[in-house]
Amino acid sequence: MERTVRIIGAPMDYGANRRGVDMGPSAIRYADLADGLERAGVDPIDDGDLTMPRAEERDPDADQPRRGDAKFLREIEDVCKRVRDRVATTLADGEFPLVLGGDHSVAIGSLTGSARDADLGAIWFDAHADLNTPETSPSGNVHGMPLAAALGRGAFGETEWAPAPRLQESSIAYVGLRSIDDRERELIRESEITAFTMADIDQRGISAVVDDALAVATDGTDGVHVSLDLDWLDPKTAPGVGTPVRGGVTYREAHAALETLSRRDEAEGILRSMDVVEVNPILDEGNETATLAAELTASTFGKRIL
C-alpha cells in the first residue's frame, strides 16, 4: 500500500544564532522535494507552513526559565506545541509526518508528537549532541537543546510541553557526532544514549554504524524518529548551515545511511516520523544544501539508483 507523507513546514529560527534558517522549508520544497518523494513511491501531501512572528518582532529574553538561559522560549513553546499536535494528528490519520525546519528546536515538537501514543526510539544524524539545557548552554540558543528538552532534562523537566515521556533514552542513537561541548560529553557518558562519532564511521563504515544505530533505536520501541540536521554533512558538501563543522560525512555516505534506513523500513515498517532541519538558504550556494536535503529525504523513503 502506498504510504502518504504529510509535509509540515516549521519555518522557525528562534532557536538559532543566525537568521535565515526560517527560509529552509521553502528552499527544500523548491528543490523538488515532492517530485523526489513521488519517485520514491510515496504520496506527498503538503500542509504548508505554520505561521509565526519574525524573531525581530520578539524579545528573546521575555520568558526565561527559572534557571539558566534559553532565548525565545515562549515563541519556541508555541511553535513546538503546534508541531506536536500536527505530528500526532498525522499519525492518527495513518500518515507519515515529515517536518521541515527551521532550526533544530522544532524537533521538540516532532518528538513529543511522535511519542504521544507510542514508545519511541530516535536516530540523530548531527554534528552536535543537542543535549545542553538552559543551565549548561554556553549560548542560550535552543537549537542546541532539543534532545535534552524531549528527555525532560534540566529546566525543561519543569514544563509540560517539552518532555516526551515515551521517548526512550536507551533507544536513542547519535550518528556522526564531532562537535560536543565539555558538559555534553559528560552527560552523554552518564546517559543511556548510544553515541557513534565520525571516528566510528571512519573505522567501521557508515552502513555498519547505521545498522547498529537501528538496533538501538528499535529495541523495545514501536517506531523510530529520524532527525536529520544538514550540518551532519561536511560543509564542503552542505555549505548552507548555520553551525558548520569540518570533517562530516560525504554525499555518498549520507545517501548510504538513509538508504540503509529505507531498506530496513521496507522490510519491517520501523520508521514513524522524521524532521529535516538547519538548511539556511542565506548561507547556501545555489540552493545546494536544500537540494541535498530533498534528495536525502527521498532516499529515506526508498528512492534508489536502480
Binding residues for Mn(2+): 104, 126, 128, 130, 229, 231
Q: Counting beta carbons within 10 angstroms of the beta carbon of residue 94, is it exposed (0 to 12), middle (13 to 18) or buried (19 or more)? A: exposed
Among 126, 200, 259, 275, the active-site one is 126
Helices (H), the chain: 24-30, 33-39, 73-92, 107-114, 146-150, 182-190, 198-204, 206-218, 251-268, 288-300
Among 143, 200, 225, 255, the active-site one is 143
200 is catalytic: no
- Residue ranges of the binding site: 104, 126, 128, 130, 229, 231
Among 49, 75, 278, 295, the active-site one is 278
229 is catalytic: yes
Among 22, 103, 128, 184, the active-site one is 128
Q: Rounded to whole angstroms, what are the CA distances from 164 to 104, 134, 171, 172?
A: 16, 18, 13, 13
32 is catalytic: no
255 is catalytic: no
CB-based contact 233:249 (threshold 8 Å): yes
278 is catalytic: yes
Secondary structure letter of residue 3 according to DSSP: P
Among 103, 200, 229, 234, the active-site one is 229
135 is catalytic: no
Secondary structure letter of residue 127 according to DSSP: S
Beta partners for residue 177, in sequence order: 197
212 is catalytic: no
126 is catalytic: yes
Active site residues: 104, 126, 128, 130, 143, 229, 231, 278
